[in-house]
Amino acid sequence: MSTEETKDNFKNGIFWELYLDLERQFKNFLEYVPYLNGNEDVYSFRLLNLTLSIGGHVDSAFKEMAQYPKFSENDDCNKILQKVKENEENIREGKRPIPVPIWLSLRAFEREYKLSTRKVMFKRLPERENIQPFKPHNAKTKAPEWWEIYNGLKHYVSVNIRKANLQNTLHALAGAFLLNAVHNPSVLRLFKYGVFKIEFEPNVYGGIYSRQIASPEWVQQEYEERGTLPAHLETPLFIYDYGEWDEDYE
């Protein structure tokens, strides 16, 4: 593994493993309090801690995503990296930390991945439920509601603890899942892991490629050029369809 690869925590799989641990924690909670009608507002200290962990994961993920070399011409990504650098200098000097504002991260990756429109399917029983985890809620920052709740919990736990409920934690987790699902280096890693499944490989002549054509090189080129794949990613809780977002995809 090259030095460059080890620095990219999406490419080396670290962010995916961190996400899976968060999903396992939530799934374990669902064994005691299932996600059924009437339970969405159930709150607890465990969900509070999990929401804080998920929010931290998303914040770290945005900073990591901004380092992706192919986003070097994205001005907002460069602004994120500058704030990260300034924050590190402040910490070394014992000064006040400089956070990366959520509106900056959302604007940066709305440009790259259209996050606000992306849907994740929650494998809720007895029916499936579609979630748009980055659907704007705050008109000023464009932040989703669960992010506002995460931010409130960081500063005023006693006031906001009731908002650390099943529904809000689920939506936050769906956001963390989505970032791992759509970020280019993560897609390639998940393919190598065998986590997501190629459903078919159409060629330009209308025929079907053999499975051998679905190589890492093919996946990377197809996803970077079109932003879609004939594939889906599935975990015990969520499904993400890579082919849903290209209107011309047949």
Read off the tokens for 115.
């996050």
Q: Are strands 196-198 and 120-122 parallel, antiparallel or unpaired?
A: unpaired
Confidence of residue 244 (pLDDT cuts 50, 70, 90): low
Could you read off the pLDDT of 72-131 as tens digits, one per residue?
Answer: 999 999 999 999 999 888 888 888 888 899 999 999 999 999 999 999 999 988 788 999
Q: Omega before 230 cis (within 30°)?
A: no
Confidence of residue 247 (pLDDT cuts 50, 70, 90): very low
Helix 102-113, helix 45-66: angle, nearest 10: 60
Report the Cα–Cα distance between both ends of the chain, in Å, rounded: 37
Q: What is the pTM of this model?
A: 0.89
Share above pLDDT 70 across residues of the chain, in percent, rounded to a whole number: 88
Contact 144, 167 (CB under 8 A): no
* Cα 74 from chain centre: 19
What CA–CA distance (Å, rounded) separates 197 from 138? 35
243 or 48: which carries more pLDDT confidence?
48
pLDDT of residue 160: 84
What CA–CA distance (Å, rounded) separates 231 from 211? 13
Share above pLDDT 90 across residues of the chain, in percent, rounded to a whole number: 63
pLDDT at 219 over 80: yes
Contact 180, 15 (CB under 8 A): yes
Could you read off the pLDDT of 22-70 as tens digits, one per residue?
Answer: 999 999 999 999 999 899 999 999 999 999 999 999 999 999 999 999 9
Q: Omega before 97 cis (within 30°)?
A: no
pLDDT of residue 249: 33
Could you read off the pLDDT of 137-161 as tens digits, one per residue?
Answer: 999 999 999 999 999 998 888 778 9
Specify the amino acid at residue 244: E
